[in-house]
Amino acid sequence: MAGGRPRTTSLEPDDMIALGKEMVDWVKKNNPLHLSYWYLRVKKIIFKDWRIYRERPEFTPYYEEALSIVGENYINGTVDKSIAQRFLRIYFKDLKEEEDSTAKYNADLKANEAQQYSQEDIDRAQRILEQVSRNQASARKIASNNVKADDKS
């Protein structure tokens, strides 16, 4: 059985801070369209590890700053609008939260509305719609007969 300290994916806090500063400097110099170029191609950090790095409290402020810098390309016209629209939720977390919150609210509202109607209510509404349909058919038939009667006179 192996002993000692468990393996970890992330670096020591000071190293995470240094990595964050390096990332922000690189982003400012290179103006990338996505951070994956830096973490995957430049630093050789795989996505599984990158997700852990992003959550480290020492690294998060630098990650968010870098996202903000990259995100500017998506609102200032550097990136084509059709492409930019797809990435706005990535670079603007508050937008993502707002959209998710609105979607959840609408889904909950729809679910609550559906639960408020009993089968009896649904059947009653169906009978009303069928009656309206029959009335419309009768009205069309009467109008058609009146037109034929007028044509004969």
Per residue in 71-102, pLDDT (tens digit) is 888 888 888 888 887 777 777 777 778 888 88
Distances (CA, A) of 128 to 8, 58, 119, 132: 66, 64, 14, 6
What mean pLDDT do residues 12-36 have? Answer: 95
- pTM of the prediction? 0.58
How far apart are the C-alpha atoms of 130 and 135, rounded to whole Å? Answer: 9
